[in-house]
Structure 1
């Protein structure tokens, strides 16, 4: 690492090499539960887009802009929240996020117009913003070093499970009691999880990070001078431009291209997320055994995922085959998830964990913010196959970014 990173002095020692498995498991489980809740918020709106389009007379561009607003707020807040987490600790920020999620769900319950749906996006974006600085600050401080690869695997897996649960959760209540009941149930779910986290708050405590060098220089932004940080940012920006297609538009794309039912298309999104979770599980073992090759593992995973999306875009395999290819994409990308987090850890100065993770992962939010605007234009023009092809292009470019991170980390 260069001198800009070396000047920062960590305020807390590295995690103890030997701690009880039960202690690590408890921390990993609580952080995973919180992370799943964060990903649940990503899909509070998209699974219901076809319903909102009919009920409120909205276009795909308008619906996509809801997610753009969500991720603009989340991305901006994520970059800033990293500084807050380093200053006050992760735990109070985490609890504040759940209050925002509850407000988002209640806003959905009372929504009667596009403005009401926008309020859902605003509150959910505010709640989602701090999660990566919060999660990784807790994991890096509280989990033993030798189990971090597995911790990152569980973290990514829980996120995919959160994504997988949301469409099924909302579809169940929509079919039985209407979509408003789904939002009310989601608010109750968030309140219950917040209660669990508060009861186990001792396991979520992190030490405040002091930066002696930053105080002398009057700045806490020295890490922004590191090129590898921006390569990491670019990787997240590009790779999530692909994931945004699956989350926001895969359901209407499959319905338009192959005439599949709304229920089948929505279930395909859940299948993508479950396959991603399985990939994360396997990827945890890969990351633990190949920590030095994390950038190459990520590059291979993303490259294979891009090929699978192209196969889905051609339509050669029919409706079921195309949906299977998209689900398999989740598995391929999932395998690279834990190695991705190891790759970012290697590029992170130890005393700037919250700030670097906040900045780097804001690329994820920016990718999600830009993607609906771009893909919405394609969708409104009926360019469904081209939408998937473009997603494959972005995923291919993320391979270049991952290799760029590896090259600069190895050289530091």
Structure 2
């Protein structure tokens, strides 16, 4: 068995082709994870009518999804560190495909809720899997670009969901649209299975006399891990509002046609992907990560405020969503590098599992609050709340910088601090 590349050692320098293969495969899987997070939100107007439910009830489906995903994500980090990422990744993709087909045949609200649980289980594995593969198989000089591509594919997944589902719904029905989503998930799974050798990571046997890192909870004592958790919790609230409610709130405030509402989200996500390309180069200097995050979300907050208090023609609303997306995208790779700098080398899956659990908790809480605001017609308040959370997010990013990191010791290595 080849043990030269293990979960407990940094990635060795490899060829560009090998790095590109890993980054591409991981990014494609990540795209489906994000795509699946938005299977229901773009279809809320149709689902609301089909099942005679409120926005708050539809938002609760997202809460179910992300609560389950959160629990699975925290646990899956330990499983990834123990058994390796590849089988966990394949299982997650399979469950997302099953959930999409389940949504398409649902005949009641509670059937939707059941398949939201299945989808949440599948979604919960991706961040521990993805970042373990990236951090262990991609050469260190290319990590910034790997984070950039990872973020870009996630944003493209979010952009693809409304761009694909809404036109198919208009042409056929929301059931056909969700069935097509299931086909896409299984098609990507087939590609990854065919290229499974490129996703192999062997799990090293414990070294005699070394700390039992694979079963240790010592990383939970690192303050920066919890600061990153808080940061991602706040980031998730912002993201959830943009995905589920901000376009609809803007529609009511600026008389945007229903057909243009999904375009707002698609433009946001495509522009976020473009911002991440630039952000990948800016993240090459780790010392300026917090400033990049602050500037990016500062501009995004200004765009949200303008949407809340301004009076714009319908065609300008997607433009402002694009500005907000591009600014947020620039911050993406620096955001991921903040977590990397707080991650001990021997606890990658566990740290990313816990930190990104904050993402799921935020997306579980947000729909309950902002969905209720939407039901009460507080559309301006939704957008102002979005801007407020973006400002809090900036402060959180700078707090991460202030916290010293102490890494878990590995054999022959003293704890380090930054």
TM tier, smaller: over 0.9
The one-character-per-residue Cα deviations of 1:20-46 (angstroms, maximum 9, x if unpaired) are 111111110000100001000010100
DSSP-derived class of the 1:44 partner: coil
- Cα distance in 2 for residues equivalent to 1:68 and 1:107: 18
Give 3-state SS (helix, strand or coil) of 2:346's partner. Answer: helix
Does structure 2 retain, via aligned residues, the 8 Å contact 1:241–1:368?
A: yes
Quick check: 2:81–2:349 contact (8 Å CA) kept in 1? yes
Q: Matched residue of 1:351: which SS?
A: coil
State whether structure 2 residue 129 is matched by structure 1 residue 134: yes
CA distance in 1, matches of 2:205, 2:218: 14
Match of 1:193 in 2: 188
Paired residues of 1:102 and 1:187 also in contact (CA < 8 A): yes
| Partner in structure 2 of residue 114 of structure 1 | 109
User: How do residues 334-345 of structure 1 correspond to structure 2 at under 5 angstroms?
Assistant: 334-345=329-340
Q: Which residue of 1 aligns with 2:250?
A: 254
Shift of 1:211: 6.6
Of 176, 184, 193, the residue aligned with 2:171 is 176
Which whole-Å CA distance do the structure 2 matches of 1:396 and 1:284 have between them?
Answer: 22
> Which residue number corresponds to residue 7 of structure 1?
none
User: Which residue among 385, 400, 406 is the counterpart of 1:405?
Assistant: 400
Distance 2:185 2:215 in 1: 37
CA shift digits 1:353-387 (9 cap, x unpaired): 00000000111111100000010111111000101
CA shift in 2, pair 1:216/1:135, >3 Å: closer
TM-score, normalised to structure 2, is 0.92
Q: Are 1:298 and 1:402, in contact at CA under 8 Å, matched by a contact in 2?
A: yes
| Conservation of the 8 A alpha-carbon contact between 1:251 and 1:262 | no
Please point out which of 12, 37, 46 is paired with 1:16: 12
Match of 2:279 in 1: 283
- 1:185 and 1:161 map into 2 onto residues whose CA distance is 17
* 1:209/1:351 contact within 8 Å kept: no
Counterparts in 2 of 1:171-250, with a 5 A limit? Answer: 171-208=166-203, 220-250=216-246
SS in 2 for 1:93: helix
CA contact (8 A) 2:298 2:394 kept: yes
The question of 1:367 aligning with 2:358 is answered no
Structure 2 equivalent of residue 161 of structure 1:
156
Q: Does 1:62 align with 2:57?
A: yes
What is aligned with 1:267?
Answer: 263
Distance 2:334 2:211 in 1: 33
Partner of 2:72: 77
Deviation at 1:315, TM superposition (A): 3.0
For residue 33 of structure 1, what is the aligned residue in structure 2? Answer: 28
- CA shift, 1:105, in A, is 1.0
1:87 aligns with 2:82: yes
Q: Distance in 1 between matches of 2:289 and 2:196?
A: 32
User: How much does 1:216 deviate?
Assistant: 5.4
Do 1:214 and 1:220's aligned partners in 2 also have CA atoms closer than 8 Å? Answer: no
Give 1:176 shift: 1.5
> Bigger CA drift: 303-312 or 226-235?
303-312
| TM-score between the two structures when normalised by the length of structure 1 | 0.93
Once residues 11 and 270 of structure 1 are traced to their aligned partners in structure 2, the CA distance between those partners, rounded to angstroms, is 36
Q: Give 1:217 shift.
A: 9.1
Q: Taking structure 1 as reference, are residues 210 and 357 closer, same or farther at Cα in structure 2, changes over 3 Å only?
A: farther
- Give the 3 Å change call, closer, same or farther, for CA 140–219 of structure 1 in structure 2: closer
Question: How far did residue 313 of structure 1 move?
Answer: 1.1
Q: Can you give the 5+ residue segments of structure 1 that lack an aligned partner in the other structure?
A: 1-9
Residues 378 and 211 of structure 1, relative CA distance in 2, 3 Å threshold: farther
Aligned Cα root-mean-square deviation (Å):
1.8
SS for the counterpart of 2:347 is: helix
3-state DSSP of counterpart to 1:350: coil
1:322 equivalent among 307, 317, 325: 317
Indicate if the aligned counterparts of 2:272 and 2:327 stay in contact, CA closer than 8 A. Answer: yes
